[in-house]
Amino acid sequence: MAPLRNFLWFCFITAVYSKSIHQYVDAKAELENYIENKIPDINPRFRPHYHVAPPVGWMNDPNGFSYYKGEYHLFYQFYPYDSIWGPMHWGHVSSPDLVHWKQLPTALLPNEEQCFSGSAVQDGDMMVLMYTGHIVSDKEPYYNETQYLAFSNDGTNFHKYSGNPVLPAAPNGSPDFRDPKVWRHGDHWYVILGSKTNDKRGRVLLYRSTDMKSWEFLTVLAESQGDMGYMWECPDFFELDGKFVLLMSPQGLVPQGDRYKNTYQNGYIIGSFNYETFEFVQEVPFQEIDFGHDFYAAQTTEVNGKRYLISWFSMWEVPHPEDVDGWAGMMTIARELKLVDGKIIMKPIDQMLVLRENVAIVGNLEENEGVEFEKAVEINIQANFNEKVELQLEGREGGDKVWLRWDSEVGKVVVDRGSDDIRQVEWQPNNSHTWRIFLDSSSLELFCGIGDVVFSSRVYPLGGWKLINLSIQDIKIEAYHLKKSFPV
């Protein structure tokens, strides 16, 4: 009778699983219908023209930044039913060029687990998502985090692995065990995860697998010695120009002068790594990767030998003025990474040039002279950085103001949103005479020189932008209005 009982049990499980799949498919269809009906209610005043944003509701961390069957894919933490953080889904967009984006159906919906952050890889013809299943409980510590898989053969429709979770617990049992980043090397898959020690020091854990379903713990790749925060989120690990980079988002860093002034930070450690011993040796200590007000949980991908980065263009525990309009959160533009003299250089990808619609202005801007732009504009500034430079940006019809300053005597670039809301950092122009500024309906991205200093800050002007030259010198300006490249 045992074979018959086993067969009947198999049939029962198959029927239950099949029913759950149908329910999941119906739930996804219902959600897409909700989104379509909700979009007309969104106030467009701060909606970006060329940055990825949620169609409705809340967005945070980028997930699954990858390349699959000739297109870039970007997923994101998504709560569609309100413009505040809620039970996490995975939103989804794709692009042929990292500039023009298409909204795709929501990739993952929560069941018993919330779908926290993770990554995507291609395995043969299959796209595989690995994400953190965050399960809330009524007992301390009131949540647990494990790692789940989901599969797709078309890059649009995903089904969750019936054997989830594939990584059920951190080696020390910490409930903080999240944000898997997967990559392939040789015959193995590798994954790193963010976690913490029992005495609350951030760490990154390294595993490997032959099939992404059974994982072997290898080592603690890196961890705080007590001065680098209590949790390391959203880790990424990659080779760049002959060195290895551990990119992560540490929580709990204490502000030090101009540094670590955001709620949480995003930065990197440079070193060497050995795939035989699994040892990562730090050579250059932690550095912030972006010095603006709103930059977190950056994720990278490599395509055709180039390493690209996209980050959540927002920050935790700060106001999000767009939330009253029915949405909140967006992504930075894609940046290409290089390693120069022990430092990551970020520059806008070359494809951004295709967004230039028409010339807004080319010429000199005299002291105290102003010029107006539409909501989406690229501004290239040439100035003598042996002297002070100060630019004021404001809304043509009011709203926020922001000041960009360079003081040659102090040697710092400053982004000042007023009311002492300042971010600043040392910069060495090194014969550079340029700033490149990307403005959208509610954002500013400043690239200094070759991209060795970058600021990403949310700013909320009304009715387009106005730039005023407050410098003690004339500056050369070349500006272009930019086309829409994301559905609004």
Q: Within this chain, do residues 227 and 374 fall inside the same structural domain, yes or no?
A: no
Q: Within this chain, do residues 129 and 267 fall inside the same structural domain, yes or no?
A: yes
For residue 438, which of 368, 364, 346 has the smallest C-alpha distance?
Answer: 346
- Mean pLDDT (the chain, rounded): 95
Residue 42 falls inside a structural domain = no
For residue 295, which of 314, 309, 308 has the smallest C-alpha distance?
Answer: 314
Q: Within this chain, do residues 247 and 198 fall inside the same structural domain, yes or no?
A: yes
Per-residue model confidence (pLDDT) at position 488: 65
Q: Within this chain, do residues 314 and 382 fall inside the same structural domain, yes or no?
A: no
Contact 132, 118 (CB under 8 A): yes
Mean pLDDT of 199-207: 98
pLDDT digits (tens, 9 = 90+) for 80-107: 999 999 999 999 999 999 999 999 999 9
Residue 48 falls inside a structural domain = no
Q: Within this chain, do residues 246 and 128 fall inside the same structural domain, yes or no?
A: yes
Residue 460 falls inside a structural domain = yes
Residue 391: give the domain boundaries: 356-482
Q: Within this chain, do residues 309 and 417 fall inside the same structural domain, yes or no?
A: no
From the list 26, 41, 61, 187, the catalytic residue is 61
CA Rg value for the chain = 23
Per-residue model confidence (pLDDT) at position 238: 98
Q: Within this chain, do residues 239 and 119 fall inside the same structural domain, yes or no?
A: yes
Q: Above 90 in pLDDT, residue 9?
A: no
Final residue in a domain of this structure, among 320, 348, 376: 348
State how far the Cα of 193 lies from the Cα of 295, in Å rounded to an integer.
20
- What is the β-pairing status of strands 114-123 and 126-136? antiparallel
Q: Above 60 in pLDDT, residue 260?
A: yes
Per-residue model confidence (pLDDT) at position 21: 74
Q: Which amino acid is at 114?
A: Q
Residue 23 falls inside a structural domain = no
Final residue in a domain of this structure, among 321, 348, 375: 348
| Six-digit token string for 204 | 């990154």
Complete DSSP assignment for 126-179: EEEEEEEEEEE-SSTTSEEEEEEEEEESSSS--EE-TT--SB---TT--S-EEE
Instruction: Give the list of residues 6+ apart from residue 218 with CB closer than 8 angstroms, or none.
Output: 206, 207, 208, 278
Active-site residue flag, 400: no
Per-residue model confidence (pLDDT) at position 10: 44
Question: How does residue 13 score in pLDDT terms, banded at 50, 70 and 90?
Answer: very low
CA 224 remoteness from chain centre: 23
Q: Within this chain, do residues 87 and 185 fall inside the same structural domain, yes or no?
A: yes
Residue 141 falls inside a structural domain = yes
Q: Within this chain, do residues 331 and 380 fall inside the same structural domain, yes or no?
A: no
Per-residue model confidence (pLDDT) at position 342: 96
Residue 6 falls inside a structural domain = no
Contact 59, 66 (CB under 8 A): no
Q: Within this chain, do residues 279 and 376 fall inside the same structural domain, yes or no?
A: no
| Six-digit token string for 445 | 């991205």
> How far apart are the two ends of the chain, measured CA to CA in Å?
62
State how far the Cα of 432 lies from the Cα of 455, in Å rounded to an integer.
17
CATH number of the domain residue 195 falls in: 2.115.10.20
Q: Which of 14-23, 333-342, 411-420, 462-471 has the lowest mean pLDDT?
A: 14-23
Per-residue model confidence (pLDDT) at position 7: 45
Q: Let me know how long the chain is.
A: 488
Residue 173 falls inside a structural domain = yes
For residue 49, which of 459, 398, 314, 374 has the smallest C-alpha distance?
Answer: 374
Residue 274 falls inside a structural domain = yes
pLDDT digits (tens, 9 = 90+) for 290-341: 999 999 999 999 999 999 999 999 999 999 999 999 999 999 999 999 999 9
Q: Within this chain, do residues 173 and 258 fall inside the same structural domain, yes or no?
A: yes
Q: Within this chain, do residues 223 and 340 fall inside the same structural domain, yes or no?
A: yes
CATH number of the domain residue 465 falls in: 2.60.120.560
Final residue in a domain of this structure, among 298, 320, 348: 348
Q: Above 60 in pLDDT, residue 19?
A: no
Question: How does residue 182 score in pLDDT terms, banded at 50, 70 and 90?
Answer: very high
Count of domains in the chain?
Answer: 2
